[in-house]
Amino acid sequence: MGTLKDCIKYKNTDNIPVWFMRQAGRYLPEFREIRSKNTDFIKLCLNPELSKIITLQPLERFPLDAAIIFSDILTIPFAMGQKVEFEKNFGPRLGELNLDKILEMPDNEIVDKLNPIYQLIKTTSKDKILERKDLIGFVGATWTLLVYMLNKQSPKKKLSENIYNFKNEHELIKKIVHVQKLHIKKQVESGASIIQIFDSWAGLLSKDKYEKYIYKPTQELVNYTKSLGIEVICFPRSIRSYLEYCNEIKPDVISIDYEVNPLEIARNINIPIQGGMSPQILLTDKENLKKEAKRYLDIFKDHPYIFNLGHGILPETDPTMVDYLVKIVKDY
């Protein structure tokens, strides 16, 4: 059993496990080398051999306690028949949403398209490097997928006004949740030992819309994952109240962003906590990094805590700073 499981299941506070969102990615020269030869990002995510290499690259460099599969939340809209492309210096661009086609698409066709991800998990979970470590599978939360599917690009660029009360919205949400559950089940059957749900755009919503777009669908996913005997981590980035979210959703672990006060979180939330530190700190110097990492470690020292960041590692991060950060956590 990995130390993540010890922390989550047994509320162990002796050893603080560490892994990072986007630990496999553009800050690593070995990843950039593979990426330069594979320009179609979705195709790369659906290449089980290369995805396995990328998933394990950070574990070959750093003594991390978990691997997270190299994939993307937008493989689900892709598998549901929506065109998904990643443009350099722009990000994801999605095609028109053919609702009838999406609603009628049979499960076996969707699973076939996502099958390379399950192959990746099967082979990676058996790799020696992951002995006593966890392999994290994931999905994007329903609301975040809905944003991309309807907005057709990152809302950072521009947010469409048609995003709320979209015609046939109820049917689309129902279909997305169904596919998410299929995808979670297949990941677990293939060997994922933990599932994380990324709600990257939770912060876009006003509180009156939480029940419909966040609480109801996420609750269904969390309950379903737990019914498979697997722990679930939720990351509702920039949500207005992490406490209310935990009370509604009841995840096994709550992953926090860097805009929230960690002291308040430690005081009010009694389930295991993950993350918090800003990825920007890794772009500063070692003295500053040590000070900020120790601040989080001290705040959560008597609380079941998984060290991570408040978002993914930034592409311009120096890998030696990541190495230094892992050492700080391990030596604490």
Single out the catalytic residue among 148, 210, 213, 305: 148
309 beta partners: 277
CB contact burial 24-33 (16+ within 10 A = b; e otherwise): bbebbeebee
Note every long-range contact of 45-49, with CB atoms under 8 Å and residues 24 or more positions apart, other chains counting.
45/70, 45/71, 45/72, 45/75, 45/117, 46/75, 46/113, 46/114, 46/116, 46/117, 47/116, 48/116, 48/117, 48/119, 48/120, 48/123
Query: Is 72 annotated in the active site?
Result: yes
What are the angstrom distances between the C-alpha of 129 and each of 53, 134, 201, 253, 326? 12, 10, 33, 24, 17
Backbone angles phi, psi at 314, to 5 degrees: -80, 150
Q: CA separation (Å) from 77 to 92, 101, 167, 236?
A: 12, 12, 18, 20
- Candidate list 35, 61, 93, 295, residue with the active-site label: 35
Q: Which of 22, 118, 199, 296 is catalytic?
A: 22
Beta strands 231-236 and 91-94, pairing class: unpaired
Identified catalytic residue from 26, 61, 240, 295: 26
Residue with tokens 């599917």, as numbered in its chain = 149
Query: Residue 22 catalytic?
Result: yes
- Active-site entry in 6, 27, 65, 72: 72
* Catalytic-residue membership of 35: yes
Residue appearing with tokens 């549901």: 80
Residues annotated as catalytic are 22, 26, 35, 72, 148
